[in-house]
């Protein structure tokens, strides 16, 4: 409760200081458009000269706005590709500025740019995207330091990882451990200010029955980037440092996507490569002075392997976006509603030779309809309250996962069909059957955010304050897991029962935030301080959850010191140092908070009648039902720190960031065990020859027995530690060669381990004793690995605007990938004994025990050796060429050349074969 | 094969009457001296204590005659002649002790012709105990083509001329695969067999007598499998089954009430044990020389090795149990030609290897087993199976399993039935 009061006090403090705003400020603002096309022009440099000089940049909508001291001002607008415009500014009025395109065509930025803002982020613009020729959002990540180009992996969910190596197996290949799902779950995706909420995604097949689903399910994994088309994206900002307090429910980073909102010609794009064909079309319509409508749609048809017709992925997306601007003398109003539709379909059939009569098929579809409604009021007159934003969105999703499978019990199967606890007879499955499994999910998400901006400048210290409330609601209204329990999708070991998702309560997420961005000038030095606080809470979840009683606070701070510009010869030198730190908190998903009930089925009587098996056999089962909900579950909380240095010399620019992140409360499912009692009937007492019906349980003697069994529940048991250095160096374009060089790269050291002791079972049977039924060891050891990687990418882009030609060559070098398993001795610290169901310390005597000795896990010392994949370098070429006004041709070849030397580990030589990935596309502008 | 002749026995025909004294009368039965050529395999290095046994087919009287030395003279009549010798022979790279045996049937000894014949002989293991007759590890298919498990079996056979007791015989499956070889540390493979399944025939020593020429069928699940898979067969009359008790529905085994269970000493898994159905394991039978508790305590084996594969290097530590090779009665290495790397059992146990399937995961391997070759049917109608400690030589491969032949059950997924009954998968039973 005290925390709530703190927040209220904090907000009140912000508001009261805001009220002391200087009343004499004026607002200078406007919008810049292309004089010919009428399209808005973002990133125009605007110098506002008068009693004071201000420098601003126009935003995505071509708009700019500042609060200035009263007086007469001159606006000077410049951007490459346009003639410079100088005009007198009208204070407190909207300046509509038109810029005339330069005769010379513009050079464009085809790489990601490192932000100059206080947050450490990369920004990718439309031009860079068109040169990259992406199939889905996944491909854009190549431009972020630490990444190199990857072939499309359309047969698996594409999840994001920022500032980390990812989980790596001993061989160096990436793995997809659910224990570290927080990696991708902890990155927030925003599209036009509205989050992609995946908390109610429950589309999965339990028991690892389907390999197709194992790689595609994104339960607890966040956003599948395959489903995000890049064709209507204007710009993407990927925040990897300490994000503004405005953004929450994340641990790792933020992906902020802005869609295209401007009038323009019809654009059409056809892309074909070895894996996929893509078609996209879009148009920005100017309906009247105030209203622009953007319509677009796209279709992707991808194969996972060009030689395999049995697996494919399809994506359809369509979007209608309106941009409405209206203003009077006091207020500018901007209304930007969207309707977005995205569908995707994974279809996997087994190979004809393995698919018995075409029966086995996996289909997973996702249909999402999203309504976004954003409104912004900007005060044009001087007032402390500069703007108010209201963002809201409603998403309805229709998810359907179907698996059909021919199930052949290995001999006989048992279908424990009851949904109630207690003793009952199970059904013996005699022969093969076709099992149908349906997972029907209908997540509905609602999002509402209101945010106010205050600006005031006491004593030349400018305070820009953001404060607001964000509310997210998500609930799954689906039918859930639907199947015939007597015909489960596997005949052995099916411990699940159908579950309706609509019975699971909704999840609500409420946050308050406030942030002050303070800038001050001390002589020629400019200092910036961004200090914010965000609260995170799950109201309405119920007091039984610890997480429901708490309010978690994320304090975040970024500071930046800009040293004065020094001119040496012709060059201007600039230096800025930044540092930041803070906490980020990710709330658990519905799957973690409301896991499926756990069923433990124990066979009490297994009587198989050899003479009349179908009529007289009897299998009696005792079923225990557990609610595996962990009411103690806490959110995953990450502590982030970084320092950054940025240096500019003319147009050369270097940016280096060192970061460290540590999270010990990552989510994972961990096993809990306890002793269960059951009756062990003596089947040999049944006289099969005299039976006229299944044997009567009351006539069969039994003994009470106990066994250990377990279920998994969500825990804060994963640790994810990220450390590293990211850098980007942009060299000024070499004029005679028309070539610019960008070098970026990163060193990552990522540690993935468990953060608390874990139970592990052993499989053997010694004598007649099943060890795992009687003893289970508790091991206080790390199951994880420490991975390191270092890469640099050299990008040479040559632009000949008068020929409409952009040619880029990227030399991407992964200098090494190292992975090492953390040492473990394999000796349990304690063991569970079935006799009392209690933990006992594991002692020297235990090591000599006939049964307990088997609990020691032996590890070969070589397991803990460092594995290294040495240098691998690739050359990627990309060309875009304007054929005429209407047509642009682009093509790319990734890994056209490679340097991947053979290497030897433990006397074993590995050769690496590299295939190139290539494709081309046509872009029409009509 | 080269003809190798040891001292040849010649004798001259004698018409001298030999008087057998009886109470009432004295009869003269003419005798003949026989000329026998013993044809020995070329690998035989030395022979000792070789004897002929002549069995008169009308009186059924047997007489043993040392093969070396004196001439052999027999009363006229019809005889079966068998030969037995202790030998040393070249078994692959090693020299093994063994037994040389042979039989010639229906020799007519008359008083006016010298019976002159060649006797073919065969090398046998000298343990004089059970041998593995057949291993059916591939399993059957359902009509849709999916694999069916639970009908695998191993037959062990009394190839001797005396009653043997099966009590205490262990059925063993190797831990290692014949298609992967690593440097196991510590290395114990010279004198021990690393096993991950040890199931022992119960009994007090004389509970399970097996007459000469009879088999025991040890099966996975002793039920009529045709209920679950009409293409399978009935094992409810099998001698023993290995039953893996579990109270978890995910790995339920069925305990047949008509087939006694083996005593489970150790198994690597708490799920059920099935014979390796692609045939990469070695199998052996052994007589356990210590009791169960001593075995479990003293014969545990932990070892380390490193896997080098294309995907990377995987250092492994594993655990299993071990069986001294001296306990082993018979062992059979199995593999498939394109993948085979080594013989898990050393030459002293099995100098060769056999197979069911010509390549890994051969789709044609189902409904087939490996069956020991029959040399001949002896004069008691008993099959004498080949046992030269070399399964390459001793086994017929990809044969129709004996139980499928007997029950005339399916030999393919489409339900085609077996029609011919054979002694060893190749030689048909004539009548």
Q: Which of A411, A602, A860 sits opposite B149 (nearest CB)?
A: A411
Helix, strand or coil for residue A421?
coil
End-to-end CA distance of chain B: 32
Helices (H) and strands (E) counted in chain A, each on its own, are 9, 52
The more confidently predicted of residues B286 and B248 is B286
Helix, strand or coil for residue A382?
coil
Question: A residues 380-439 near B, CB within 8 Å?
Answer: 406, 408-412, 414, 416, 426, 430-432
Which residues lie closer than 8 Å to A440 by C-beta, 6 or more apart? A399, A400, A401, A478, A479, A480, A482, A501
Look at residue A487 in the predicted model and tell me its pLDDT.
87
Backbone angles phi and psi of A829, in degrees to 5:
-85, -25
Distances in Å between the alpha carbon of A692 and those of A565, A681, A695?
A: 100, 19, 8
CA dihedral A146, A151, A153, A159 (to 10 degrees): 10
Does residue A60 have a pLDDT over 90?
A: no
> Which stretch of DSSP H or E encloses residue B385?
strand B383-385
* DSSP character at residue A2: H
Does residue B362 have a pLDDT over 90?
A: no
- Give A610 to chain B, closest Cα distance, Å: 6
* Beta strands per DSSP E along A260-330: 264-273, 276-286, 291-303, 311-327
Q: Using CA atoms, how far apart are residues A36 and A42, in angstroms rounded to an integer? A: 15
B95-110 pLDDT, tens digit per residue, is 888 888 888 877 888 8
Q: Using CA atoms, how far apart are residues B369 and B137, in angstroms rounded to an integer? A: 7
Q: How many alpha carbons lie under 13 Å from residue B105 in its C-beta half-sphere?
A: 6
Q: How many alpha carbons lie under 13 Å from residue A176 in its C-beta half-sphere?
A: 15
Look at residue A356 in the predicted model and tell me its pLDDT.
67
| Chain B neighbors of A862, CB-CB under 8 A | 304, 306, 313, 315
* Residue B330, token pair as written in the block: 């018979």
Q: Using CA atoms, how far apart are residues A210 and A189, in angstroms rounded to an integer? A: 28
Provide the mean pLDDT of chain B: 84
| Chain B neighbors of A431, CB-CB under 8 A | 142, 228-229
- Give B262 to chain A, closest Cα distance, Å: 11
- Using a CB–CB cutoff of 8 Å, tell me whether A678 touches chain B: yes
Q: Using CA atoms, how far apart are residues A64 and A45, in angstroms rounded to an integer? A: 10
* DSSP character at residue A226: G
Q: Is the Cβ–Cβ distance between A339 and A370 less than 8 Å?
A: yes
Distances in Å between the alpha carbon of B277 and those of B138, B174, B355?
A: 4, 13, 11
Question: A residues 502-561 near B, CB within 8 Å?
Answer: none
* Residue A285, token pair as written in the block: 């319509």
Look at residue B16 in the predicted model and tell me its pLDDT.
33
Q: Is the Cβ–Cβ distance between A671 and A704 less than 8 Å?
A: no
> Which stretch of DSSP H or E encloses residue B393?
helix B391-394
Does residue A367 have a pLDDT over 60?
A: yes
Look at residue B309 in the predicted model and tell me its pLDDT.
60
| Chain A neighbors of B245, CB-CB under 8 A | 768, 770
The model's confidence at residue B234, banded by pLDDT at 50, 70 and 90, is very high
Q: Inter-chain contact A410–B246, Cβ cutoff 8 Å?
A: no
Does residue A651 have a pLDDT over 50?
A: yes
The model's confidence at residue B312, banded by pLDDT at 50, 70 and 90, is low
CA dihedral A221, A222, A226, A227 (to 10 degrees): 140
Closest to B247 (Cα-Cα) out of A684, A418, A772, A686: A772
Q: Using CA atoms, how far apart are residues B314 and B341, in angstroms rounded to an integer? A: 19
* Partner residues linked to A394 by β-bridges: A371, A446
Q: Using CA atoms, how far apart are residues A83 and A100, in angstroms rounded to an integer? A: 6
Provide the mean pLDDT of chain A: 88
Distances in Å between the alpha carbon of A548 and those of A247, A385, A505, A563, A714?
A: 21, 34, 14, 46, 16
- Give B410 to chain A, closest Cα distance, Å: 17
Look at residue A35 in the predicted model and tell me its pLDDT.
78
The model's confidence at residue A110, banded by pLDDT at 50, 70 and 90, is confident
Q: Using CA atoms, how far apart are residues B78 and A609, in angstroms rounded to an integer? A: 53
The model's confidence at residue A908, banded by pLDDT at 50, 70 and 90, is confident
Q: Inter-chain contact A432–B144, Cβ cutoff 8 Å?
A: yes
Closest residue, chain B, to A207 (C-alpha): B250
Question: A residues 57-116 near B, CB within 8 Å?
Answer: none
Q: Inter-chain contact B257–A686, Cβ cutoff 8 Å?
A: yes
Average pLDDT over residues A278-291: 92
* Partner residues linked to A375 by β-bridges: A335, A390
Mutation for B interface: A350, A408, A868, most B CBs within 10 A: A408
The model's confidence at residue A906, banded by pLDDT at 50, 70 and 90, is low
B126: left (phi over 0), alpha (psi -120 to 50) or beta: alpha
How many C-beta neighbours within 10 Å does residue A788 have?
Answer: 20
Q: Is the Cβ–Cβ distance between A165 and A173 less than 8 Å?
A: no
Q: Inter-chain contact A867–B265, Cβ cutoff 8 Å?
A: no
Mutation for A interface: B250, B277, B296, most A CBs within 10 A: B250
Does residue A6 have a pLDDT over 70?
A: no
Mutation for B interface: A610, A703, A704, A855, most B CBs within 10 A: A610
The model's confidence at residue A613, banded by pLDDT at 50, 70 and 90, is confident
The more confidently predicted of residues B72 and A303 is A303
Closest to A426 (Cα-Cα) out of A675, A597, A602: A602
The model's confidence at residue B5, banded by pLDDT at 50, 70 and 90, is very low
Closest to A582 (Cα-Cα) out of A515, A645, A681, A512: A515
Which residues lie closer than 8 Å to A50 by C-beta, 6 or more apart? A68, A69, A71, A72, A73, A74, A89
A553-593 pLDDT, tens digit per residue, is 999 999 999 999 888 888 889 999 999 999 999 999 999 99
**Sign (positive or negative) of CA dihedral B62, B63, B68, B72:** negative
Q: Inter-chain contact A610–B146, Cβ cutoff 8 Å?
A: no
* Partner residues linked to A844 by β-bridges: none
Look at residue B240 in the predicted model and tell me its pLDDT.
96
Q: For tokens 């995604």, what's the residue?
A: A201
Q: Using CA atoms, how far apart are residues B62 and A488, in angstroms rounded to an integer? A: 67
Helix, strand or coil for residue A771?
helix
Look at residue B342 in the predicted model and tell me its pLDDT.
87
Q: How many beta-carbon pairs below 8 A join chains A and B? A: 176
Q: Using CA atoms, how far apart are residues A239 and A248, in angstroms rounded to an integer? A: 12
Q: Using CA atoms, how far apart are residues A623 and A774, in angstroms rounded to an integer? A: 19
Q: Inter-chain contact B252–A356, Cβ cutoff 8 Å?
A: no
pTM of the full structure: 0.80
| Chain B neighbors of A495, CB-CB under 8 A | 250
Max mean pLDDT range (A42-51, A80-89, A233-242, A566-575): A233-242
* Partner residues linked to A79 by β-bridges: none
* Residue A667, token pair as written in the block: 């989510």
Q: Is the Cβ–Cβ distance between A335 and A324 less than 8 Å?
A: yes
Look at residue A679 in the predicted model and tell me its pLDDT.
93
Per-residue HEC secondary structure of A102-140 comes to CCCCCCCCCCCEECCCCCCEEEEEHHHHHHHCCCCHHHH
- Using a CB–CB cutoff of 8 Å, tell me whether A860 touches chain B: yes
Q: Is the Cβ–Cβ distance between B39 and B81 less than 8 Å?
A: no
Look at residue A763 in the predicted model and tell me its pLDDT.
82
**Domains present along chain B, CATH in parentheses:** 3-123 (2.60.40), 130-407 (no CATH)
Q: Using CA atoms, how far apart are residues B26 and A521, in angstroms rounded to an integer? A: 144
Which residues lie closer than 8 Å to A246 by C-beta, 6 or more apart? A451, A466, A468, A513, A515, A532, A534
- H helices within A292-409, ranges in order? none
| Chain B neighbors of A170, CB-CB under 8 A | 312-314
The model's confidence at residue A8, banded by pLDDT at 50, 70 and 90, is very low
Q: Using CA atoms, how far apart are residues B203 and A88, in angstroms rounded to an integer? A: 110
Q: Inter-chain contact A601–B249, Cβ cutoff 8 Å?
A: yes
> Which stretch of DSSP H or E encloses residue A845?
helix A844-848
In the sheet with A253-259, reading across from the earlier edge strand, the strands are A113-114, A121-125, A233-239, A253-259, A187-191, A194-195
Q: Is the Cβ–Cβ distance between A475 and A503 less than 8 Å?
A: no
* Residue A710, token pair as written in the block: 């377990």
Q: Is the Cβ–Cβ distance between A612 and A546 less than 8 Å?
A: no
Calculate what percentage of chain A has a pLDDT beyond 90: 54
Q: For tokens 């639970």, what's the residue?
A: B150
Q: Using CA atoms, how far apart are residues A99 and A35, in angstroms rounded to an integer? A: 5
- Give A785 to chain B, closest Cα distance, Å: 15
**Sign (positive or negative) of CA dihedral A144, A149, A154, A158:** negative
Q: For tokens 């909704």, what's the residue?
A: A506
Q: Is the Cβ–Cβ distance between B244 and B221 less than 8 Å?
A: no
Q: Is the Cβ–Cβ distance between B418 and B400 less than 8 Å?
A: yes
Q: Using CA atoms, how far apart are residues B225 and B149, in angstroms rounded to an integer? A: 10
């Amino acid at each position: 409760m005290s925390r709530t009061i703190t927040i209220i006090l904090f907000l009140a403090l912000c508001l009261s200081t805001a009220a002391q705003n200087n009343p004499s400020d004026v607002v200078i603002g406007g919008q810049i458009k292309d004089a010919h096309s009428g399209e808005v022009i973002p990133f125009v440099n605007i110098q506002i000269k008068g009693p004071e000089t201000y420098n601003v940049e126009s935003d995505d909508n071509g708009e700019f706005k500042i609060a200035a001291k009263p007086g007469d001002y001159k606006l000077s607008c410049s951007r490459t590709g346009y003639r410079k415009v100088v005009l007198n500014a009208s204070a407190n009025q909207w300046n509509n500025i038109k810029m005339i395109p330069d005769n010379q065509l513009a050079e464009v930025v085809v790489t990601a740019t490192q932000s100059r803002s206080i947050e450490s982020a990369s920004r990718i613009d439309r031009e860079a995207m068109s040169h990259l020729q992406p199939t889905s959002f996944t491909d854009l990540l190549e431009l972020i330091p630490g990444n190199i180009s990857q072939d499309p992996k359309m047969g698996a969910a594409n999840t994001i990882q920022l500032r980390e190596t990812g989980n790596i197996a001993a061989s160096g290949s990436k793995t997809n451990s659910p224990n570290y799902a927080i990696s991708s779950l902890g990155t927030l995706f925003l599209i036009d200010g509205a989050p992609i909420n995946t908390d109610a995604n429950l589309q999965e097949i339990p028991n690892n029955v389907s390999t197709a689903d194992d790689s595609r399910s994104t339960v607890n994994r966040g956003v599948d980037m395959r489903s995000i088309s890049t064709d209507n994206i204007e710009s993407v900002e990927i925040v990897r440092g300490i994000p503004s307090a405005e953004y929450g429910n994340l641990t790792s980073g933020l992906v902020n996507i802005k869609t295209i909102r401007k009038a323009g010609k019809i654009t059409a794009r056809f892309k074909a490569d070895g894996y996929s064909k893509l078609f996209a079309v879009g148009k920005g319509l100017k309906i009247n002075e105030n209203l622009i409508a953007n319509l677009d749609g796209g279709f992707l048809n991808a194969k996972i392997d060009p030689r395999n017709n049995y697996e494919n992925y399809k994506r359809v997306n369509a979007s209608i976006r309106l941009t409405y601007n209206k203003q009077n003398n006091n207020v500018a109003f901007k209304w930007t509603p969207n309707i977005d539709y995205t569908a995707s379909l994974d279809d996997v059939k087994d190979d004809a030779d393995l698919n018995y009569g075409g029966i086995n098929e996996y289909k997973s579809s996702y249909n999402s309809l999203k309504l976004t409604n954003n409104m912004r009021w900007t005060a044009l007159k001087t007032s402390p309250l500069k703007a108010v934003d209201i963002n809201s969105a409603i998403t309805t999703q229709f998810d359907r996962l179907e698996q059909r499978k021919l199930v052949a019990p290995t001999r006989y199967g048992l279908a424990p069909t009851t949904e109630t606890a207690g003793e009952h007879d199970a059904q013996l499955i005699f022969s093969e059957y076709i099992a149908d499994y349906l997972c029907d999910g209908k997540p509905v998400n609602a999002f509402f955010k209101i945010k106010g901006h205050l600006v005031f400048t006491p004593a030349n210290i400018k305070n820009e304050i953001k404060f607001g409330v964000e509310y997210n609601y998500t609930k799954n209204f689906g039918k859930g897991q639907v199947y015939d329990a007597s015909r489960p999708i596997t005949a052995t070991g099916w411990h699940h029962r159908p579950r309706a998702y609509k019975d699971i309560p909704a999840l609500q997420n409420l946050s308050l935030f406030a942030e002050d961005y303070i800038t001050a000038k001390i002589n020629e030095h400019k200092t910036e301080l961004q200090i914010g606080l965000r609260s995170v809470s799950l109201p309405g979840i119920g007091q039984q959850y610890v997480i429901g009683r708490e309010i978690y606070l994320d304090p975040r701070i970024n500071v930046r010191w800009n040293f004065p510009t020094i001119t040496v010869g012709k060059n201007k030198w600039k230096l800025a140092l930044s540092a930041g730190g803070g906490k980020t908190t990710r709330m658990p998903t519905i799957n973690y908070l409301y896991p499926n009930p756990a069923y433990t089925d124990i066979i009490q009587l297994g009587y198989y009648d050899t003479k009349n098996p179908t009529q007289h056999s009897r299998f009696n089962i005792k079923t225990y039902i557990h609610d595996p909900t962990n009411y103690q579950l806490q959110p995953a909380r990450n502590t982030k720190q970084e320092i950054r240095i940025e240096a500019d010399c003319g147009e050369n620019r270097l940016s280096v960031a060192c970061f460290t992140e540590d999270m010990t409360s990552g989510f994972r499912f961990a096993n809990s065990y306890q002793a269960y009692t059951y009756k062990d009937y003596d089947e040999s007492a049944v006289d099969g020859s005299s039976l006229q019906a299944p044997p009567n349980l009351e006539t069969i003697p039994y003994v009470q027995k106990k066994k250990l069994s377990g279920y998994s529940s969500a825990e804060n048991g994963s640790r994810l530690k990220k450390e590293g250095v990211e850098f980007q160096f942009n060299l000024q374009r070499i004029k005679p060669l028309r070539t610019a060089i960008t070098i970026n790269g990163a060193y990552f050291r990522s540690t993935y381990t468990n953060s608390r002791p874990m139970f592990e079972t052993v499989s053997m049977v010694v004598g007649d004793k099943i060890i795992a039924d009687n003893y289970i060891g508790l091991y206080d050891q790390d199951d994880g690995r420490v991975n390191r990687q270092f890469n640099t990418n050299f990008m040479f882009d040559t632009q000949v605007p008068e020929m409409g030609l952009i040619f880029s060559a990227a030399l991407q070098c992964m200098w090494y990938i190292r992975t090492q398993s953390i040492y473990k001795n394999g000796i349990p610290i304690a063991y569970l004994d079935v006799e009392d169901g209690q933990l006992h310390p594991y002692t020297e005597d235990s090591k000599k025990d006939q049964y307990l000795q088997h609990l020691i896990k032996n590890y070969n010392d070589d397991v803990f050796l460092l594995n290294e994949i040495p240098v691998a370098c690739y050359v990627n070429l990309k060309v875009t060429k304007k054929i005429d006004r209407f047509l642009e041709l682009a093509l790319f070849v990734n890994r056209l050349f490679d340097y991947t030397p053979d290497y030897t580990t433990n006397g074993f030589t590995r050769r690496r074969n590299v295939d190139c990935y290539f494709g081309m596309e046509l872009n029409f502008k009509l | 094969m080269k003809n190798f002749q040891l001292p040849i026995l010649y004798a001259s025909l004698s018409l001298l009457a030999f008087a057998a004294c009886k109470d009432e009368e004295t009869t003269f039965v003419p005798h003949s001296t026989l000329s026998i050529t013993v044809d020995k395999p070329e690998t035989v290095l030395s022979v000792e204590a070789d004897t002929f046994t002549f069995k008169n087919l009308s009186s059924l009287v047997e007489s043993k005659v040392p093969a070396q030395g004196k001439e052999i003279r027999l009363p006229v009549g019809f005889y079966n002649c068998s030969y037995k010798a202790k030998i040393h022979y070249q078994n692959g790279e090693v020299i093994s002790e063994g037994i040389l045996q042979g039989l010639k049937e229906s020799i007519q000894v008359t008083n006016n012709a010298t019976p002159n014949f060649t006797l073919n002989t065969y090398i046998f293991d000298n343990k004089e105990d059970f041998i593995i007759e057949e291993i059916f590890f591939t399993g059957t298919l359902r009509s849709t083509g999916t694999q069916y498990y639970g009908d695998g079996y191993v037959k062990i056979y009394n190839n001797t001329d005396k009653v043997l007791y099966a009590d205490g015989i262990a059925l063993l499956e190797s831990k290692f695969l014949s298609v992967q070889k690593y440097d196991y540390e510590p290395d114990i493979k010279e004198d021990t067999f690393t096993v991950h399944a040890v199931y022992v025939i119960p009994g007090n020593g004389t509970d399970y007598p097996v007459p000469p020429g009879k088999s025991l069928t040890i099966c996975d699940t002793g039920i009529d499998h045709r209920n679950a898979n009409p293409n399978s067969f009935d094992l409810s009359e099998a001698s023993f089954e290995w039953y893996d008790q579990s109270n978890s529905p995910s790995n339920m085994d069925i305990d047949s009430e008509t087939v006694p269970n083996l005593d489970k000493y150790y198994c690597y898994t708490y799920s059920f044990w099935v014979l390796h159905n692609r045939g990469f394991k070695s199998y052996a039978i052994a007589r356990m020389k210590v009791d169960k508790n001593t075995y479990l305590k003293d014969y545990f084996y932990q070892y380390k090795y490193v896997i080098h594969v294309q995907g990377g290097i995987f250092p492994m530590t594993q655990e299993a149990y071990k069986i001294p090779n001296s306990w082993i009665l018979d062992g059979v290495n199995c593999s498939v030609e394109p993948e085979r790397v080594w013989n898990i059992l050393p030459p002293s146990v099995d100098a060769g290897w056999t197979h069911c399937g010509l390549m890994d995961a051969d789709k044609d391997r189902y409904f087939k087993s490996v069956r020991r070759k029959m040399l001949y049917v002896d004069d008691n109608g008993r099959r004498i199976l080949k046992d030269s400690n070399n399964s390459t030589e001793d086994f017929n491969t990809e044969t129709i399993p004996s139980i499928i032949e007997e029950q005339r059950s399916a030999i393919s997924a489409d339900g085609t039935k077996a029609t011919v009954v054979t002694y060893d998968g190749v030689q048909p039973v004539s009548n």
